[in-house]
Amino acid sequence: MSQEPLGFAIIGAGVIGPTHAQAIEAAADAKLVCVCDVIEERAQALAEKYGAAWTTSIGEALIREDVQAVSVCTPSGMHGDHAIKAAEAGKHILCEKPVDISLRKIDETIQAAEENHVWLAGVFQNRTVPEHIKVREAVRGGKLGKLVLGDCYQKWYRAHSYYASAGWRATWELDGGGALMNQGVHGVDLIQWIMGKAARVSAYARHLTRNIPVEDTAVAIVEWENGALGVLEGTTSNYPGLNMRMEISGDDGTIVMDGNAITKWAIQGEEAEEVGEAEEGASADPLAINSVGHVAHVEDLCRAIRENREPAITGREARHAVEIIKAIYLSSREGGATIELPLSYDDDGPGITSKLGSARLEW
């Protein structure tokens, strides 16, 4: 028996909203029915392209009976509030990265989804890339032997014009940080998805070339829970921008990735695999995102709804990258001190604290 595709609303029709629209239209079991943006022309233009309704009021979008799921594409510091509203309206949620910039808000969002019996799925489209899945399976399957190093370098470029393109960008209040919390969260999530959770970090975060209150460059030493060490680097001030690079080594092998391409696959006792060639991605151009990964996210959420099972990236799954980045900021504030994870948040405000006791981070 054929059934109607699941209806989606998009909240936020800026840079990434149109990618969600493309993905929803391309997905097997989804249909775009409504677009919401506080800027009327944006909502209208995107909606009309797909024959959907539009509104400037999130309440109006959420009350619609033909909306079963919502793509949250608003500024990062609004994600939790908008996702909670969607959960309370009984809508399933596909939430852009990061799920929120506050750990407390992420936990409240997870709770709201659970209490309202809707699925909360996070976007980290790099996890849907077949090469990344292959690397993770090899690492998790023990092919590299005892893991010794797991590094991720995300040296991207964002011009001054990018920061000027929307008032929330590079603000603590709504972006939650800079090169790490906005762009670098992709790499931090990917390497921790492959390596496992981080146990402790020590880091420097600086604004070196941009007149912004948040970091444009950061470097962290990380000790993974499995005992391996690693380096995380993130910048948006590296002209002309390089592909994200990952290097993972164990005493039985090494894998290197340049963007989505595996450029080294050397495992003891295995024939060397043919390696791929890197292609340019969004390292210098925030608009250079294709919708392939987002289609996978939309289809996964549709299957989760139909089959009543968890989406691939739950809120809890998407949370750890934010926690690692918060720990990096805390460490930098303490001059590179070692910060142990997990972090806890203050009872009396939006801040988080480390076991050091003295370091406190707003937002």
Ligand X SMILES: NC(=O)c1ccc[n+]([C@@H]2O[C@H](COP(=O)([O-])OP(=O)(O)OC[C@H]3O[C@@H](n4cnc5c(N)ncnc54)[C@H](O)[C@@H]3O)[C@@H](O)[C@H]2O)c1
Q: Which strand (E) or helix (H) includes residue 327?
A: helix 315-333
Q: Is the Cα torsion angle 236, 240, 246, 247 positive or negative in sign?
A: negative
Pick one of 25, 37, 215, 258: the residue that binds ligand X (CB under 6 A). 37
Nearer CB in complex with ligand X: 34/246:
34
Least distance between ligand X and beta carbon 96 (Å): 4
Pick one of 6, 9, 10, 13: the residue that binds ligand X (CB under 6 A). 13
Query: What whole-number distance in Å separates Cα of residue 360 and Cα of residue 363?
Result: 10
Pick one of 11, 129, 318, 341: the residue that binds ligand X (CB under 6 A). 11
Least distance between ligand X and beta carbon 152 (Å): 16
Least distance between ligand X and beta carbon 90 (Å): 19
By CB under 6 A, the residues from 276 to 305 that bind ligand X are 289
Nearer CB in complex with ligand X: 70/112:
70
Check: CB of residue 231 under 8 Å from CB of residue 219. Answer: yes
Nearer CB in complex with ligand X: 37/233:
37
E-state strands within the chain = 6-11, 30-36, 53-55, 69-72, 92-95, 120-122, 147-155, 198-206, 217-224, 229-235, 245-250, 253-258, 261-267, 339-340, 344-345, 352-353, 360-361
Nearer CB in complex with ligand X: 15/356:
15
Residues forming a β-bridge with 235: 155, 217
Which residue has the closest beta carbon to ligand X? 14
Least distance between ligand X and beta carbon 182 (Å): 6
Residues forming a β-bridge with 35: 10, 54
Least distance between ligand X and beta carbon 238 (Å): 18
Helix, strand and coil in the chain, % to nearest 5: 35, 25, 40
Q: Would you mind telling me the total number of residues written for the chain in this entry?
A: 363
By CB under 6 A, the residues from 155 to 194 that bind ligand X are 166, 182
Contacts of 86 by beta carbon, 8 Å cutoff, 6+ apart: 11, 62, 70, 72, 92, 93, 118
Least distance between ligand X and beta carbon 315 (Å): 15
Nearer CB in complex with ligand X: 37/215:
37
Q: Which strand (E) or helix (H) includes residue 170?
A: none
Q: Which strand (E) or helix (H) includes residue 189?
A: helix 185-195
Least distance between ligand X and beta carbon 331 (Å): 23
Regarding 42 and contact with ligand X (CB under 6 A), the answer is yes
Token pair belonging to 248: 């993972």
Nearer CB in complex with ligand X: 32/139:
32
Regarding 73 and contact with ligand X (CB under 6 A), the answer is yes
Question: Residue 135, SS3?
Answer: helix
**x/- letters, 84..123, toward ligand X (CB under 6 A):** ------------xx-------------------------x
Pick one of 6, 8, 10, 12: the residue that binds ligand X (CB under 6 A). 12
Token pair belonging to 153: 């370098």
Nearer CB in complex with ligand X: 77/150:
77
Least distance between ligand X and beta carbon 281 (Å): 10
Nearer CB in complex with ligand X: 11/24:
11
Residues forming a β-bridge with 264: 256
Nearer CB in complex with ligand X: 73/110:
73
Regarding 36 and contact with ligand X (CB under 6 A), the answer is yes
Q: Is the Cα torsion angle 83, 86, 91, 96 positive or negative in sign?
A: negative
| Residue in 248, 9, 45 with CA at minimum distance from that of residue 131 | 248
Regarding 234 and contact with ligand X (CB under 6 A), the answer is no
- Binding interface with ligand X (CB under 6 A): 11-17, 36-39, 42, 58, 73-76, 78, 96-97, 123, 125, 166, 182, 289
